[in-house]
Chain A
Amino acid sequence: MADLIFYIFAAFTAGSALAVVLTKNTVAAALALLLCLVGVAGIFVLLDAFLLAALMVFVYAGAVVALFLFIVMLLDVQGGVRKPFKKATIVSSVFAFILLLLGLASFAHKGVQTTGDLGAAAPVGATLKSYGEQLFTTYLLPVQIVGFLLLIAMLGVIVLSKKFEGLEDIK
């Protein structure tokens, strides 16, 4: 049963990821990205990472996709004529796609030695307590660095989106 659910979610995720790439409409691409992230959250649930699945839906599907849709609305990029893809672009990107896929798949195929049964290891990621323990002991310094990074990113966004009308030398 769990296998069937995995394959359903995997096909759903890969299909909506392909839709992100292949659809012409930017809004449709953002919505396909939303579906893809929900599929990935389902995969996380199958891997017993419930907190990460919830975070995936909140942070990515909630904040990031909403931000993308907001920017699409702000920029209004649908107007104007758009040239179709060049044949050389299509051929070379499909070729690179196949090469990368084969490389990664052979990496996964040859590299994994274990039989990989889900019952073999205890589901350590299932409880909130283990996350808190790790984040506040082993990974305390990275947590603070990431917090500082968020502050810097916020300041950067404010500076980038501010119009410097009084300052001529900025331009």
Chain B
Amino acid sequence: MTVGLNEYLYLSAVLFAIGFFGVLLRKNTLVIYMCLELMLVASTVALVAFSRFNGTMDGNVFVFFILTVAAAEVAVGLAIIVALFRRRQTIQVEELNALKN
């Protein structure tokens, strides 16, 4: 039984689901952010696997752009978290309920 495209896609699905699980379960904004990164990485695994098994470059190049956008996203998101912490002195999501009701 050789490792084929399906195995890589299963791995990608598992990683994505774990990231989603973390986003739902955790209350710390930083950990939620890490889980979002995990979901992005899971999608890149699927893209690279598709690219490899199809023999085309497009998936690999797309991963380039995902990496760039993820880096920009992390910088902006962490700056927002720091600004939020300055104002509210907390980063737990259950205490950040200004928009509730």
- Judge whether B30 and A131 touch: CB under 8 Å: no
Inter-chain contact A74/B82, CB cutoff 8 Å: yes
Instruction: Tell me if A134 and B79 are in contact (CB < 8 A).
Output: no
Complexed CA–CA distance, A77 and B92 (Å): 9
How far in angstroms is the closest Cβ of chain A from B60? 4
Q: Are A71 and B25 in contact (CB under 8 A)?
A: no
Any chain A CB within 8 A of the CB of B96?
Answer: no
Q: Which residues, 22 to 67 on B, are CB-close (under 8 Å) to A?
A: 22, 24-28, 30-31, 33-35, 37-38, 41, 44-45, 48-49, 51-58, 60-61, 63-65, 67
Interface of B is mostly: helix
* Bound-complex Cα distance A149 to B57 (A): 23
Docked-complex contact A153 and B1, CB < 8 angstroms: no
B2 proximity list for chain A (CB < 8 A): 3, 117-118
- Contacting residues of chain A (88-107) with chain B, CB-CB under 8 angstroms: 89-90, 92-94, 96-97, 100-101, 104-105, 107
Q: Which residues of A contact B (CB under 8 A)?
A: 2-3, 6-7, 10, 13-14, 17-18, 20-21, 26, 29-30, 33, 36-37, 40, 43-44, 47-49, 52, 55-56, 59-60, 63-64, 67-68, 71-72, 74-75, 77, 82-83, 85, 89-90, 92-94, 96-97, 100-101, 104-105, 107-109, 112, 114-118, 120-125, 130-131, 133-135, 138-139, 142, 146, 149-150, 152-154, 156-157, 160-161
Interface residues of B (CB under 8 A from A): 1-22, 24-28, 30-31, 33-35, 37-38, 41, 44-45, 48-49, 51-58, 60-61, 63-65, 67-76, 78-83, 85, 91-92, 94
Can you report 24 A-B residue pairs in the complex whose CB atoms are below 8 A from each other? A13-B11, A17-B18, A40-B15, A43-B45, A44-B45, A47-B8, A49-B51, A56-B67, A64-B70, A68-B74, A71-B78, A75-B85, A100-B17, A104-B12, A104-B17, A121-B52, A125-B57, A131-B61, A131-B64, A146-B65, A146-B68, A160-B79, A160-B80, A161-B79
Q: A40-B15, A68-B33, A161-B82 are in contact. List 5 more A-B contacts (CB 8 A).
A: A29-B34, A85-B27, A108-B12, A134-B58, A135-B64
